[in-house]
Amino acid sequence: MAEELSNCNLDTFASADGALKDYTLYQLYNKNFNIPCNDEREEFSCNTGQNYSFDDEKIKEFYNKLVRNLKMISKKDQYFNSLIINENKLCTYLKYWFHDQVISKKYNSTEVDKIFKAWNNSDNSFLKHSPCYIHALSLNKIQEIKPVYDYFILYDRNNNKEIETDKILKTKYCEYFKIAQMMYVSKDTMCQINVSSPVCNEYNQNIKTFVEYDEDFIISCESEEEIVKAIKTIIIVLIFLFFGILSLLLLYTKVKKIYAYAYNHHKKVIFITFSICICIIVT
């Protein structure tokens, strides 16, 4: 990809397109889901009741945030009243945060495995009560699904008719979203066949439902300057073709006249030709 995957996250998108900061997902991500566990506000405490032992404080903090956020979603009326939210999308927003953090923080495969091992541990009392199903994905699968979650943003923040004018597609991230669109199409096709795989469950439950894909919409990353330049090039080529054809027509007309003259005065032409040959021989 033109941009390294870890550099393609919600914060970098918002730096390129400031309007994203008013977007529901951005608000939830930064004002709820990503609040540190040691925040002094009680509602953001990560006292999750989990007894799993971590040997990595960074992963422990991230895991505890995940559990805290799931508990917040289970009490959505208490935590998200100030935001206009489609409640059916809360799990998708949380999953976006989760995958975005894994990629942007550059967690390795061992660290990712620790998170899912803790979640599926038999001591996880919240496992059966979680409002969102957590699919255990390898780091490779998370890297695979992350651009598809990013593609979801285009549909979530726009009406279908407005997607192609989304400002993010006018930034340096356009090529990334172009590839993300291809990955969405590929995932959609694959997941109609392999419906039971964890990554397809992730896709079908959290993304496909909210993307009204339009086959006629193809992301184009050409700037207005590039389009004007291409049009000028086409015009120049057409002008050269025009004059080339005109020259051929003029040449054809002259040849035709010569042929007609030769045909009508063939005796004279033969005599002149014969005379020239005699002169050459004598000389």
How many whole angstroms separate alpha carbon 34 and alpha carbon 97?
8
pLDDT tens-digit series, residues 35-57: 998 877 877 888 766 777 888 89
pLDDT at 216: 84
What is the CA angle 118-53-41, rounded to 5? 85
How many whole angstroms separate alpha carbon 23 and alpha carbon 15?
13
In this structure, what token pair is assigned to residue 280? 């050459």
Could you tell me the pLDDT band of residue 4, with boundaries at 50, 70 and 90? confident
Q: For 25-34, 162-171, 200-209, 224-233, which range has the lowest pLDDT when averaged over its residues?
A: 224-233
Q: For 26-30, 199-203, 259-263, which range has the lowest pLDDT when averaged over its residues?
A: 259-263
Q: Region 181-209: what's the mean pLDDT?
A: 94
Q: Region 57-82: what's the mean pLDDT?
A: 89
Averaged pLDDT of the chain: 83
Buried b (16+ CB within 10 A) or exposed e, 57-87: eebbebbbbbbbbbbbbeeeeebbeeeebee
pTM of the model: 0.76
pLDDT tens-digit series, residues 147-192: 999 999 999 998 777 888 899 999 999 999 999 999 999 999 999 9
Cβ burial of 147 (10 Å; 0-12, 13-18, 19+) is buried
Q: Region 62-86: what's the mean pLDDT?
A: 86
Could you tell me what percent of the chain has a pLDDT over 90? 53
Whose tokens are 């496992």? That residue is 127
pLDDT at 215: 85
Could you tell me the pLDDT band of residue 13, with boundaries at 50, 70 and 90? very high
Higher pLDDT, residue 81 or 45: 45
pLDDT at 43: 74
Write the DSSP string, 9-49: SHHHHHHH-GGGGGSHHHHHIIIIIT--TT-SSGGG-----
Higher pLDDT, residue 268 or 231: 268
pLDDT tens-digit series, residues 226-256: 544 444 444 555 555 655 566 666 766 765 6
Q: 95 with 202: CB under 8 angstroms?
A: yes
Evaluate if residue 141 carries a pLDDT over 60.
Answer: yes
